[in-house]
Amino acid sequence: MAYNIALIQTACSNDTDRNLADSEKYIRQAASGGANVILLQELFAWPYFCREVDNRHFARAEPVPGPLTSRMQKLAGELGVVIVVPLFEKRTAGLYHNTAVVIDADGTFLGKYRKMHIPEDPGFHEKYYFTPGDHGYQVFDTRFGSIGVLICWDQWFPEAARLTALMGADLLVYPTAIATLPEEKGALSQKYLKAWQTIQQSHAIANGCYVASVNRVGVEGNLSFWGRSFVSGPFGEVLAEGGSDEEVVMCSVDPEKLDIHRTTWPFLRDRRIDTYHPIPSRWIGDNPG
Residues 6+ apart with CB under 8 A from 163: 137
- Pick from 182, 186, 175, 179: which is nearest to 218 by CA? 179
42 labelled catalytic: yes
62 labelled catalytic: no
| Marked catalytic residue, from 12, 89, 90, 152 | 152
| Marked catalytic residue, from 89, 115, 126, 209 | 115
191 labelled catalytic: no
What's the rounded Cα separation, in Å, for the pair 102 and 84? 5
Q: Where in the sequence numbering do the catalytic residues fall?
A: 42, 115, 152
